[in-house]
Amino acid sequence: MLAAILSPSSATRVFTPTTLHKPPTTFSFLRPFSLPLSASRFQVRAMADSASALPPSKKSQSIETILISFPFLESIDQTFDAYVVGKEDAPGIVVLQEWWGVDFEIKNHAVKISQLDPGFKALIPDLYRGKVGLDVAEAQHLMEGLDWQGAVKDIRASVNWLKANGSKKVGVTGFCMGGALSIASSVLVPEVDAVVAFYGVPSSELADPAQAKAPVQAHFGELDNFVGFSDVTAAKALEEKLKASGIPYEVHIYPGNAHAFMNRSDEGVKRRKSMGMPDEDEAAVELAWSRFKTWMTRYLSA
């Protein structure tokens, strides 16, 4: 059990299927923001408009735009853009967006992942089809309008594209909305080899983590107030579900950190502060990346 908050200096906790526990009552995502859409100017911008979103220090890393289509999707009429960065033939990692869409921060994460030793090939599927929320109300509107089952199909297509293009094994990671989807992929996408989820748990209607089939590592902030989605109670409930699944897993909670604590760009820090999340903990961020690298290397090594 996560009876106590884990400190950043604590040893990694790897849970294996030696002891199974009955899962807790199903929980659901209660929205932390209830802003009326009338309060938003609801603007969205195409991905092309944010081509310069990466800070100068990251622009030297080439991000390639690709089009994923049939046969990775069910119909010849279906396509979506994706963004790829990293070493050819390296283990693949599908990187799933926050509720904002494919913006500067998720690009930063993909570039960071591609640069971790021994090297990964990161792919971001554009789940919103080019739309990016410019404020909280817009992001909430976009997330509420997402076809979640359709997003799972996009994830599966992304995993299979990577496997068909040089990656022998492929993991999935995601942040916030993408964290929930990454855990769902461990249940619903049989080709996934490992998952690392950041502060997000899927609804019971989408996927039951007790049915996870790929190893899952999950990260949460102690001060996260997204009730039932990524708060400490949700993290503990997820742990119980993962115990029942029988797969290896880790659950980590970071003291003094709120939601989206991995977002460390200047723009990301400013946005978090505007949402009432002023915490800045570089040590926790580096520890989480270290755990991420260890987990993905362990399960994606050929």
Kindly tell me if the per-residue pLDDT of 33 is higher than 70.
no
Structural domains of the chain, count: 1
pLDDT per position as a tens digit, 206-262: 999 999 999 999 999 999 999 999 999 999 999 999 999 999 999 999 999 999 999
61 dihedral zone (left: phi>0; alpha: psi -120 to 50; beta): beta
Better-scored residue on pLDDT, 284 or 34: 284
User: What is each CA distance from 117 to 54, 251, 278, in whole angstroms?
Assistant: 22, 23, 30
Strands 194-198 and 170-175: parallel
Indicate the DSSP class of residue 98: B
- Give 77-90 pLDDT, tens digit per residue: 899 999 999 999 99
Would residue 232 count as lying in a domain?
yes
The whole-angstrom separation of Cα 243 and Cα 297 is 22
| pLDDT, position 75 | 83
Mean pLDDT of 85-96: 96
pTM above 0.85, yes or no: no
Residue 57 placed within a domain: no
| DSSP track, 71-138 | TSSSSTT-EEEEEEEE-TTSPEEEEE-BTTBS-HHHHHHHHHHHHSTT--EEEEE-TTTT--BSSHHH
In whole angstroms, give the CA distance from residue 260 to residue 98: 9
Q: Is the pLDDT of residue 272 over 80?
A: yes
Q: Is the pLDDT of residue 40 over 60?
A: no
Higher-confidence position of 263 and 40? 263
Contact criterion met (CB below 8 Å) for 69 and 53:
no
* Domain carrying residue 286: 68-300
pLDDT (tens digit per residue) in 109-165: 999 999 999 999 999 999 999 999 999 999 999 999 999 999 999 999 999 999 999
Is 21 domain-assigned?
no
Please report which confidence band the pLDDT of residue 70 belongs to, taking 50, 70 and 90 as the band edges: confident
Specify whether the CB–CB gap between 197 and 180 falls below 8 A.
yes
- What confidence tens digit (pLDDT) does each residue in 169-220 have? 999 999 999 999 999 999 999 999 999 999 999 999 999 999 999 999 999 9
pLDDT the model gives residue 302: 65
Q: Does the residue 40 lie in any domain?
A: no
CATH of the domain at 263: 3.40.50.1820
Whether the predicted pLDDT of 103 surpasses 60:
yes
Q: Locate 163 and state its tokens.
A: 């496997």
pLDDT above 90 as % of the chain: 76
Instruction: Report if residue 20 sits inside a domain.
Output: no
> Residue 275: inside a domain, yes or no?
yes
Indicate whether 169 belongs to any domain.
Answer: yes
- Per DSSP bridges, beta strands 79-86 and 249-254 are unpaired
> For residue 23, what pLDDT band results from cuts at 50, 70 and 90?
very low
Stretch 46-61: mean pLDDT: 42
